[in-house]
């Protein structure tokens, strides 16, 4: 058998020829995307590089099959191969995370959270209601009772981490559907330290008495004690839902264990597959046996037909994450985040919470006199891909922001280590120190425009290229 690199090269070259025969501009854009990803410092905390095996699995005829329902219980005929794929993906997920039940159909993280919300409502509200009315399902309810149940379902409470403290928009942020379907309140972080204050969370939970307590984050640079969150949930009768989308790779890789592993503590855990877990773009839900029957109704309750080609790729990615080498990768992601944070701190930059102990760092760019938007743009000019992010109590709002979120999963996949992440911190500080905020057309201070000193972008790109060339993306993959 030819070696894997040359097999991958021929697979992609041939696939691109087939695509180009129909729409050459898409083939060209696909090639350009690889070139861009190869030549930039990708520091977006929610991105990674999936393996060729994962990527290739998505490009098949499983895409053509409808399979609404669950394994062995579909609304369409001919789903025997989809059943194989879905069972295998769920089995790998259960084994990988030590979960009682896994549901691998959600198309994204938001979908996974919607499945979790509706399964909690179905299990906690709809189920007992039907039982009391001695009905098997909602179709048996009178119109009047159905209206009462609908009002009850729409009258529940959710407590989640606020967006500016590092929570996610699906954790009850008003512009998101989670903030509309629930009465929501948010917990934040300690204003002095930026850290979660569990006593404050408990006090809020006692007062608000939520049906759902959501833990997890997308921009909080620290670990969470999920045993404590479960104690809080139990005390107030809430269901504990943990969104581990950002750190599921660190859970899979056993960097987060004991109280920091959400799976033994939460009733329901949701995640994406494409961030630190390094799989295809998608979501999944883990649950206790108690919640499994309602989670199983995710499609068609909340989701459209499962993306069978993506479920197949999830199975491949979970299989990869079960290998010993993934543990080493996950540990390196966390070690590298530490190196990045140290690199900033020794250059006097300001980090939210003063550091990190997960995969991400939140840099407060206000000390450079910049908004997050200006910093993000200047860094992009220099080939450093990041995303702007709010910091706690951000005075610049969620559009301009005062922070830059940086994550290590992607560059760790390329093989970057301590010294490279120290250099990355140096390059970022160099760019931001040489960026001036611009002015509006009327001459006032602008939150968007900026000017980067001449020569800085080229110098940073040159230094990055040296590191990137030493750690090629998809080594051996040569496109024609």
* Contact track, ligand DSN, 165-204, x by CB under 6 A: ---x------------------------------------
Give the shortest CB-360-to-ligand DSN separation in angstroms.
9
Whether residue 332 contacts residue 416, with contact meaning beta carbons closer than 8 Å, is answered with no
Residues 428-457 that bind ligand DSN (CB under 6 A): none
| Residue closest to ligand DSN, measured at CB | 46
For the residues of 12-38, what is the DSSP string, one character each?
A: HHHHHHHHHTT-HHHHHHHHHHHHHHH
State the Cα–Cα distance between residues 384 and 373, nearest whole angstrom: 14
Distance of CA 411 to the CA centre of its chain: 16
* CB nearer to ligand DSN: pick between 69 and 282: 282
Give the shortest CB-114-to-ligand DSN separation in angstroms.
13
Residues 140-169 that bind ligand DSN (CB under 6 A): 168
* CB nearer to ligand DSN: pick between 164 and 342: 164
* Contact track, ligand DSN, 93-132, x by CB under 6 A: ----------------x-----------------------
* CB nearer to ligand DSN: pick between 174 and 470: 174
* CB nearer to ligand DSN: pick between 168 and 309: 168
Q: Report the 10 Å Cβ neighbour count for 262.
A: 29
* CB nearer to ligand DSN: pick between 246 and 461: 246
* CB nearer to ligand DSN: pick between 168 and 265: 168
* CB nearer to ligand DSN: pick between 253 and 409: 409
* Contact track, ligand DSN, 342-381, x by CB under 6 A: ----------------------------------------
* CB nearer to ligand DSN: pick between 166 and 194: 166
Give the shortest CB-218-to-ligand DSN separation in angstroms.
4
SS3 label, residue 449: strand
List all residues 6 or more positions away from 272 whose beta carbon is below 8 Å from its beta carbon: 46, 108, 109, 112, 245, 248, 281, 282, 283
Give the shortest CB-407-to-ligand DSN separation in angstroms.
9
For CA atoms 110, 116, 119, 125, give the dihedral sign. Answer: negative
Bridge partners for 369 per DSSP: none
Interface size with ligand DSN, residues (CB under 6 A): 4
Q: Long-range contact list for 222-225, CB < 8 A, 24+ apart?
A: 222/195, 222/196, 222/353, 222/356, 222/357, 222/358, 223/256, 223/260, 223/357, 223/358, 224/196, 224/260, 224/262, 225/198, 225/259, 225/260
Q: Report the 10 Å Cβ neighbour count for 128.
A: 10
Whether residue 394 contacts residue 164, with contact meaning beta carbons closer than 8 Å, is answered with yes
* Contact track, ligand DSN, 28-57, x by CB under 6 A: ------------------x-----------
Give the shortest CB-46-to-ligand DSN separation in angstroms.
3
* CB nearer to ligand DSN: pick between 168 and 414: 168
Whether residue 311 contacts residue 105, with contact meaning beta carbons closer than 8 Å, is answered with yes
Q: What would the two tokens of residue 282 be?
A: 């998608």
Whether residue 184 contacts residue 159, with contact meaning beta carbons closer than 8 Å, is answered with yes
Q: What would the two tokens of residue 74 be?
A: 């579909």
Q: From the list 218, 273, 294, 402, which residue makes contact with ligand DSN (rule: CB under 6 A)?
A: 218
Give the shortest CB-70-to-ligand DSN separation in angstroms.
26
Region of 185 on the Ramachandran plot (φ > 0 left; ψ -120 to 50 alpha; else beta): beta
Distance of CA 90 to the CA centre of its chain: 19
* CB nearer to ligand DSN: pick between 46 and 396: 46
DSSP 124: I
Could you tell me whether strands 239-243 and 268-272 are parallel, antiparallel, or unpaired per DSSP bridges? parallel
Instruction: Provide φ and ψ at 349, rounded to 5°.
Output: -80, 160
List all residues 6 or more positions away from 441 whose beta carbon is below 8 Å from its beta carbon: none
Give the shortest CB-29-to-ligand DSN separation in angstroms.
22
* CB nearer to ligand DSN: pick between 272 and 464: 272
List all residues 6 or more positions away from 93 whose beta carbon is below 8 Å from its beta carbon: 99, 102, 104, 284, 286, 314, 318
Give the shortest CB-42-to-ligand DSN separation in angstroms.
12
Give the shortest CB-113-to-ligand DSN separation in angstroms.
10
Give the shortest CB-188-to-ligand DSN separation in angstroms.
18
Give the shortest CB-112-to-ligand DSN separation in angstroms.
11
State the Cα–Cα distance between residues 124 and 103, nearest whole angstrom: 19
Instruction: Provide φ and ψ at 160, rounded to 5°.
Output: -140, 175
Give the shortest CB-380-to-ligand DSN separation in angstroms.
16
Give me the residues that bind ligand DSN (CB under 6 A), please: 46, 109, 168, 218
């Amino acid at each position: 058998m030819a070696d894997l690199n040359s097999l991958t090269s021929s697979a992609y070259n041939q696939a691109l020829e087939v695509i180009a025969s129909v729409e050459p501009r898409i083939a060209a854009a696909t090639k350009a995307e690889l070139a861009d990803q190869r030549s930039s410092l990708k520091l977006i905390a929610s991105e990674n590089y999936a393996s060729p095996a994962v990527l290739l699995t998505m490009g098949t005829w499983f895409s053509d099959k409808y399979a609404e329902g669950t394994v062995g219980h579909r609304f369409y005929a001919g789903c025997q191969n989809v059943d194989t794929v879905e069972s295998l993906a769920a089995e790998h997920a259960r084994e990988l995370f030590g979960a009682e039940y896994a549901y691998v159909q959600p198309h994204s993280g938001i979908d996974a959270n919607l499945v979790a919300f509706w399964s909690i409502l179905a299990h906690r509200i709809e189920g007992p209601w039907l039982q009391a009315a001695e009905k098997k399902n909602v179709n048996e309810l009178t119109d009047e009772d159905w209206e009462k149940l609908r009002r009850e379902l729409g009258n529940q409470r959710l407590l989640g981490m606020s967006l500016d403290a590092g929570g996610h928009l699906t954790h009850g942020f008003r512009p998101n559907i989670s903030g509309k379907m629930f009465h929501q309140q948010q917990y934040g972080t300690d204003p002095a330290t930026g850290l979660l204050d569990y006593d404050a969370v408990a006090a809020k939970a006692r007062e608000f008495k939520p049906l759902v307590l959501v833990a997890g984050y997308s921009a909080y640079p620290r670990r969470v004690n999920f045993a404590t969150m479960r104690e809080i949930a139990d005390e107030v009768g809430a269901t504990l839902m943990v969104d581990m989308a950002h750190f599921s790779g660190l859970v899979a890789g056993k960097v987060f264990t004991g109280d920091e592993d959400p799976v033994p503590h939460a009733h329901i855990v949701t995640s994406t597959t494409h961030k630190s877990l390094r799989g295809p773009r998608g979501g999944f839900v883990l649950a206790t046996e108690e919640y499994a029957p309602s989670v199983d109704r995710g499609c068609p309750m909340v989701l459209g037909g499962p993306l069978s080609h993506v479920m197949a790729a999830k199975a491949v990615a979970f299989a990869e994450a079960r290998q010993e080498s993934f543990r080493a990768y996950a540990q390196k992601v966390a070690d590298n985040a530490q190196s990045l944070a140290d690199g900033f701190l020794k250059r006097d930059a300001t980090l939210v919470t003063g550091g990190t102990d997960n995969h991400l760092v939140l840099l407060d760019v206000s000390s450079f006199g910049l908004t997050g938007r200006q910093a993000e743009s200047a860094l992009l000019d220099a080939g450093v891909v990041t995303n702007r992010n709010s910091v706690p109590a951000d005075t610049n709002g969620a559009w301009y922001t005062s922070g830059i979120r940086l994550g290590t999963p992607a560059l760790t996949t390329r093989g970057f280590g301590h010294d490279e992440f120290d250099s990355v911190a140096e390059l970022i500080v160099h760019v931001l120190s040489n960026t001036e905020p611009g002015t509006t057309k009327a001459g006032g201070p602008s939150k968007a425009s900026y000017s980067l000193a001449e020569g800085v972008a080229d110098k940073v790109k040159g230094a990055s290229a040296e590191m990137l060339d030493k750690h090629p993306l998809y080594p051996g993959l040569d496109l024609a």
